[in-house]
Amino acid sequence: MRTINDLGDLRGKRVLIRCDFNVPLDGETITDDGRIRAALPTLKQLTESGAKVVVMAHLGRPKGEVNAKYSLAPVAARLGELIDAPVKLAGDVVGPSAHEAVEAAQPGEIVLLENVRFEPAEESKDDAERQALAAKYAEFGDVFVSDGFGVVHRKQASVYDVAKLLPSAAGHLVAKEVDVLKKLTTDVERPYVVVLGGAKVADKLSVIDNLLTIADTLIIGGGMGYTFLKAKGYEVGSSILDDEKIDAVKGYMERAEAEDKQLLIPVDTVVSPEFAEGEGIEVVDSDKIPADKMGLDIGPKTAKLYADAIADAKTVFWNGPMGVFEMASFADGTQAIAQALADSDAFSVVGGGDSAAAVRQLGFSDDEFGHISTGGGASLEYLEGKKLPGLDVLEGN
């Protein structure tokens, strides 16, 4: 795969770059700028080399319609602060404002196009529609740099199709993410522990299937843990549950036992009568969840069990919180996993999305972990063994 360093002298050239600036917002306030910071090494190299930098990015799911709620204006302001230079935000994606901004750009300057998902063809399943939009994107660049790892698993116009139209290369972020994921799938230093949480077991089934082959220990927490508990025949009350996946989960537990792999599920649980802070919160053994309560976090015995497994590991991958970490009463499990990773000498990878937001919200700094990924979904699909279109297209350039 070619990288940005293979593109030669970029002085005066227009570099079209896809970044992932899908940051969480509270109104117009960015609550976690990690994805913007992750793009800085590539953007700084481009501006310092004298390139005219044209950035494509998305925010949220506007579903092909212009929606001020999903404008990249807060991103442009924050990027300007971080890079210590003005960032010009175009008023559209491929319209007159975008053309005017790109034409006016000087070497070393950055233009940010509006949210590419304002364009209906960006996420179209119709190849011709995406290709037509990609051709409009390509008018803004002499070369293309792919640096939005969080979207490389998507066959979208600004990720996949435009890379076929211009000389293309991976930015520093994408190259680093791929290097990290290779350490999690080939030549892994063992023991290798994988921690999976989050709400839906269906989102993680394929990765469980593949990681049962690769990992030594698989740790299950979060909302998906209750499907595993139900598969053991336990009462789970009103906890989140994926009934359709119970048989599949039973199969994974049987397979783990047959292959002498350790598969850990919660032994105790923090339960509540409702999805909220308040009265009635208690810790119970996982086989004694009351029928009128729901599990919202792993309990302290589970947290210690999981932390002990992590302490013995040489490689750890974590994707998905252990509970509803946004509420203080249900944050201890996620806090315990984050602390165990921070204390570990293992090569630790936090797999993007909610996990990355959780560790920062809970007061951990990025440098306490081996790597914090910017792409949860992309990381999981890579670990499933899937081909990622946004990476495959770069192999041919």
Query: Tell me, what's the pLDDT at 388?
Result: 95
Query: Tell me, what's the pLDDT at 217?
Result: 97
Query: Tell me, what's the pLDDT at 354?
Result: 79
Query: Tell me, what's the pLDDT at 396?
Result: 65
CA separation for the pair 341, 311 (Å, rounded) = 8
Query: Tell me, what's the pLDDT at 258?
Result: 95
Three state DSSP letters for the chain? CCEHHHCCCCCCCEEEEECCCCCCEECCEECCCHHHHHHHHHHHHHHHCCCEEEEECCCCCCCCCCCHHHCCHHHHHHHHHHHCCCEEECCCCCCHHHHHHHHHCCCCCEEECCCHHHCHHHHCCCHHHHHHHHHHHHCCCCEEEECCHHHCCCCCHHHHHHHHCCCEEECHHHHHHHHHHHHHHCCCCCCEEEEECCCCHHHHHHHHHHHHHHCCEEEECCCCHHHHHHHCCCCCCCCCCCHHHHHHHHHHHHHHHHCCCEEECCCEEEEECCCCCCCCCEEEEHHHCCCCCEEEEECHHHHHHHHHHHHCCCEEEEECCCCCCCCHHHCHHHHHHHHHHHHCCCEEEECCHHHHHHHHHCCCCHHHCCEECCCHHHHHHHHHCCCCHHHHHHHCC
Residues within the annotated binding site for (2R)-3-phosphoglycerate? Answer: 35, 117, 154
Residues within the annotated binding site? Answer: 20-22, 35, 58-61, 117, 154, 204, 295, 326, 352-355
Query: Tell me, what's the pLDDT at 397?
Result: 57
The pLDDT tens digits along the chain (397 residues) read: 899 999 999 999 999 999 999 999 999 999 989 899 999 999 999 999 999 999 999 999 999 999 999 999 999 999 999 999 999 999 999 999 999 999 999 999 999 999 999 999 999 999 999 999 999 999 999 999 999 999 999 999 999 999 999 999 999 999 999 999 999 998 899 999 999 998 877 778 878 988 899 999 999 999 999 999 999 999 999 999 999 999 999 999 999 999 999 999 999 999 999 999 999 999 999 999 999 999 999 999 999 999 999 999 999 999 999 999 999 999 999 999 999 999 999 999 998 677 888 898 899 998 999 999 988 889 888 888 889 999 999 986 5
- Is beta strand 110-112 parallel, antiparallel or unpaired with respect to 87-89? parallel
Domains of the chain in sequence order: 4-174 (3.40.50.1260), 188-384 (3.40.50.1260)
Query: Tell me, what's the pLDDT at 376?
Result: 82
Residues within the annotated binding site for substrate? Answer: 20-22, 35, 58-61, 117, 154
Closest CA to 394 of 129, 113, 224, 146: 146
Q: Write out the catalytic residue numbers.
A: 35, 200, 353, 377
